[in-house]
Chain A
Amino acid sequence: MGDGTFFARDRGRHPPALTPDYRTSVTRAPARAPISFPPSLSEETGPVFGHDLLGPLDADLIRNFARPGHSAIGPRIFVHGRVLDETGRGVPGALIEVWQANAGGRYRHKKEGYLAPLDPDFGGCGRTISGADGSYAFRTVQPGPYPWPNGGNDWRPAHIHFSIFGSGFAQRLITQMYFEGDPMIPLCPIVRTVPTAEGIDSLTARLDMANTLPMDMRAYRFDLVLRGRRQTLFETRPEGG
């Protein structure tokens, strides 16, 4: 665990629970205000995942579900960045899990019936653990947009889902990464649950030509920020047990 307790979460930065334009939220949003309390050991600690968890292809979605000699179809991309906390420090050892549709916007999931075909060489899941400076990277194909039954003609922008474990369970976060320049971003009711333009911008990965590999794959840069820890005074530490 880290050295102190967490800064309070700025809930005005996150989507409110009730966002009627995203229709499923209407019956799944708590109506009562959440009750706050200062984090205890139950919230300051969290599961620790070591690099022994990872297989050699876990961070390579182009190959981790592909048949031998095959690779996933679609625009090859390298997604990388750093996991930081709110004080600007890199967060080492953060487990990052990603999932996404294939290049045609089709998810490999029983409940998904979109007519775009599955790619037999693409599963859509990957994971990695951030390095000592909080850096992470994975390889994949750029997902396609896909339609969903919300409004009469709603389409999700191209996106990759991210799930991140920091060093404490209170940092647990799931979010989505979008792609710079996608005209679908401002139209999406899920994107628009984020209350600020700056917040939406922070979920938009930047095309990174400096790290693009010529004749191989383009790079996108996406940094994630988890809650920061305050340095607590000695007197407020939990007493021995």
Chain B
Amino acid sequence: MHRDPMLKESPSQTAGPYVHIGCLPNLCGIDGVYPEDLGARMYADGVRGQKITVRGRILDGTGSVVRDALVEVWQADAEGRMPGGDPRGPADPAFAGFVRRAADPETGDWTFDTVKPGRVPWPDGRLQAPHATLWIVARGINLGLHTRMYFADEDAANDTDPVLARIEHRGRVATLLAQPEGPDAYRFDIRLQGPDETVFFDV
């Protein structure tokens, strides 16, 4: 059955500089309303897969660090199953798939612990390379920015990934590759604007 759109999506507005009040209230000192902030942990004890830590910064068009951004991460478990209703079967019950983080208000650094994601199928059944979806909002960003983080040590998978293949300017693919930085650690910096601008997606 086909359904046509009848209504129009509500227009986006910036999250503004005080997004933390609503999205991470405990972080900004509003104690006692929620027991903990949403998206505090990607996984619980007993999670399967390779545990990794990702660190990064977000830079604006002048190269300055963005200190008031909020980043959300959504990804598959180590076997490539999506939590939250994968039609192929349930994901690892110890894996949430979602975290929410704020840039540090002084340094702009942000970090999260996760497991390296498995491969998720493309609609035609081919396998995508391991990736996490990142969604970035902040003061000055009118519509949340979708990007993907891939892994620089997954050359073979990255070479056949259907999304990376859509990037016509091949030099820009590198902006989506998290770089290994010590054992089980990666760095992923995001550049909102400028010569090394991160690839953003319209999904």
Contacts and interface: CB of A to CB of B under 8 A. Distances in A.
Interface in A6-48: 6-11, 13-17, 19, 22, 24-32, 34-43, 45-48
Given A25-B141, A35-B167, A238-B123, A176 B13 contact: yes
Interface string B70-82: 0010111000111
Given A25-B141, A42-B133, A109-B21, A65 B7 contact: no
A87 B4 contact: yes
A91 to B, nearest CB: 11
Interface string B167-203: 1000010000000000000000000111001111111
B9 A30 contact: no
A30 B59 CA distance: 11
A239 B202 contact: no
A185 interface: no
A99 B128 contact: no
- Contact-size category for B: 35 or more
B143 interface: yes
A55 B88 contact: no
A172 B167 CA distance: 23
B162 A123 contact: no
Contacts of A41: 76, 82, 86-87, 120-121
Contact of A37 (B135, B139, B145, B166): B166
Contact of B33 (A5, A27, A58): A58
Interface string A183-212: 000000011011010111011000000000
Nearest to B162: A37
Contact of B133 (A27, A31, A43, A127): A43
Interface hub of A37, A88, A123, A174 (most chain B Cβ within 10 A):
A174
Q: State which size class the interface on A falls in.
A: 35 or more
A29 B142 CA distance: 8
Interface stretch (B47-55, B60-68, B108-116): B60-68
B142 A25 contact: yes
A110 B13 contact: no
A57 B33 CA distance: 8
Given A45-B85, A172-B135, A174-B144, A228 B5 contact: yes
Nearest to B80: A241
B16 A161 contact: yes
B25 interface: yes
B21 A47 contact: no
Given A28-B60, A36-B202, A241-B121, A123 B13 contact: no
5 contacts: A15-B12, A48-B84, A99-B22, A125-B25, A125-B30
Given A27-B64, A31-B197, 19 more contacts: A1-B87, A9-B202, A14-B9, A15-B13, A25-B142, A28-B61, A29-B61, A29-B142, A31-B61, A37-B203, A47-B98, A86-B6, A124-B21, A125-B33, A161-B18, A172-B135, A203-B10, A227-B9, A228-B3
